[in-house]
Amino acid sequence: MSVRESAVVIIETSRARLRAGLGLHELLKTPTIELLARAGLRRSRDMQPVAASSRAGSSVLAKQRSVSEYIVGKQLDDLLAAGEDLQIVWPFANGEVSDWAAAEALWKEVLFTHLNIRRMQNESAVMHAICPTLSRTVHERTAKIFFERLNVPGYTLIERPLAQLYAANAVTGIVVDVGQFKTDVVPVVESLLQHNARAVIPVGLADCERYLAHLWQNGANQTVLATLGLEGDELHAALLELATHVLAEGLVRVPSAGETAEPGTDDAGVTDIAAVLVAGREKAVIEAGNKKKRAQASAAEREREREIAALDLITVPFRGVELTLGRERHRLCEPLFDPTLLNDVVGSQGKDATTFDEVREQFIAVQDAVHTALMRLDVGQRTAALDGLFVAGDLGNAKEYFAEYREKGDQLAAFLGASMVAKLVFQDQNGRNYVQKSDYSQRGPHAIIELCPTYI
């Protein structure tokens, strides 16, 4: 079967997000669709959520639901914004598929609603980037849904760490995938994922955002609290929203070696910021901090500019007010390197005492997880794996030599790598590198295990 490149669909399914795009181009394009990987159900008497191992809000429902009952995408966002009381399900948050009907509803939303593909005349083969924690049984059931329920003519998959590694122009290394809820550390040797060595940390970007909101709420920047003028739950929600906004705007920098502020050592900086604001000179300070040094400036002026730059002040428009933030915003990533900082953070505390369903999941720092994954490899593989350490996911960037990704490549390494592989896989006129509908008819769901070139 010949596959038209313009009809190929790339789908990336992570624990917290779905990204998708239609068509392969000479210059690889960024995804045109991004959805939160969540679905909503209207509450009813027979809906009885029980404890789930995910802290992302997934639940097991007493009654099996049909796909049509799930609300996803913009409709779900609008209902939540309007205050609708819904049961929220994150089907991929645990690294498995906890709710297949919700998963199908999300994939259906991507293909038929956003990409406007017609089910009865579906000519779009799918390249699917998936989590590395999924089992062979899950792969087979996923293929079954795409062929039998979504009517795709061709299907193949690639595990996200391998795609992320390809995006960095490498085939060997250790991939650190920082997700919304968890962080996956996966060694790859010569394009083969070392599943026996991978590690999972129950700390993700959501915890980092809660931690930054916790710092502000406990006085890391008194001017933020004074400007917002809120208390209790309203203050906490606003600070959490601010942390998300600051990160999305690219205003957070991961400190270099020697720059990380130790807890409790930045009080002097906070006092300086407050003094500047009280004096009414914040605008001048910020403008001066953004100006280039003038060639004819005096030595005293240059010294003053250095002092202002050291404060690292910025103004952020938020909820109709202007907030002045300092260096405390750069502490957002600290929980990844010291998870014990989350012990007092609302919504993230108590993880160190949690019994995890997955034996590979440990409450340790990211650097310790990398070491643990490395030690699980055979001795002969360790040197090769140390050739590269690749940070991807919600805190990672793609290489700048991909033109379409240069200015907006954040978080898109897996999608980029999947697009690169799709250009190779779907060029095969004989269809030997992906599962065609005829293959599926003959072999069933197990065809994805036998014919997928990136699957071992």
Task: List 200's β-bridge partners, or say none.
Answer: 184, 361
Q: Give the angle subtended at the CA of 274 by the CAs of 265 and 255, to the nearest 5°.
A: 40
The tens-digit pLDDT sequence of the chain (456 residues) is: 668 888 999 999 999 999 999 988 888 888 999 999 999 998 875 555 443 444 444 444 446 789 999 999 999 999 999 989 899 999 999 889 999 999 999 999 999 999 999 999 899 999 999 999 999 999 999 999 999 999 999 999 999 999 999 988 899 999 999 999 999 999 999 999 999 999 999 999 999 999 999 999 988 888 888 888 888 889 999 999 999 999 888 888 776 544 555 554 444 444 456 555 555 555 665 666 666 555 555 666 666 666 666 667 888 898 889 888 888 888 998 999 999 999 888 877 666 555 445 545 788 999 999 999 999 999 989 988 887 888 887 666 555 545 566 655 557 889 999 999 999 898 876 767 899 999 999 999 999 998 887 765
Q: Give the angle subtended at the CA of 420 by the CAs of 184 and 94, to the nearest 5°.
A: 25
Distance (Å, rounded) from C-alpha 108 to C-alpha 116? Answer: 10
- The pLDDT score that the predictor gives to residue 415 is 93
- Residue linked to tokens 């730059």: 309
User: 312 is written with which tokens?
Assistant: 């690292």
The contacts of residue 256 (CB under 8 Å, 6+ apart) are none
Which of 159, 207, 200 is closest to 181 using CA atoms? 207
Distance (Å, rounded) from C-alpha 219 to C-alpha 208? Answer: 17
CA distances from 325 to 49, 211, 316 (A): 40, 16, 7
Positive or negative, the CA dihedral 389, 215, 90, 408 is: negative
Distance (Å, rounded) from C-alpha 118 to C-alpha 111? Answer: 8
Which of 158, 146, 106, 130 is closest to 440 using CA atoms? 146
Positive or negative, the CA dihedral 190, 182, 448, 150 is: negative
Distance (Å, rounded) from C-alpha 95 to C-alpha 358? Answer: 9
User: 386 is written with which tokens?
Assistant: 């140390």
- Residue linked to tokens 């890391």: 220
Map out the domains of the chain as residue ranges: 5-196+389-451, 205-344
- The pLDDT score that the predictor gives to residue 112 is 95
For the stretch 216-219, contacts whose Cβ atoms lie closer than 8 Å and that sit 24 or more positions apart, written own/partner, are 216/242, 216/243, 216/328, 219/270
- Look up the pTM and report it: 0.82
Burial of 94 (C-beta count, 10 Å sphere; 0-12/13-18/19+):
buried
CB 381 within 8 Å of CB 150 = no
Task: Return the H-helix or E-strand segment holding 385.
Answer: helix 379-385
Helical segments of 298-342, H only: 299-311, 334-337
The contacts of residue 174 (CB under 8 Å, 6+ apart) are 185, 186, 187, 188, 370, 373, 374, 385, 386, 388, 389, 390
Q: Give the angle subtended at the CA of 327 by the CAs of 322 and 329, to the nearest 5°.
A: 70
| b/e per residue 136-158 (b: at least 16 CB within 10 A) | eebbebbbebbbeebbbbbbbbb
What single-letter amino acid sits at 86? L
- Residue linked to tokens 């505390």: 349
- The pLDDT score that the predictor gives to residue 145 is 97
Task: Return the H-helix or E-strand segment holding 380.
Answer: helix 379-385
What's the CATH fold of domain 5-196+389-451?
Nucleotidyltransferase; domain 5 (3.30.420)
The contacts of residue 212 (CB under 8 Å, 6+ apart) are 239, 243, 246, 328, 329, 331, 332
- The pLDDT score that the predictor gives to residue 315 is 85
Distance (Å, rounded) from C-alpha 308 to C-alpha 310? Answer: 5
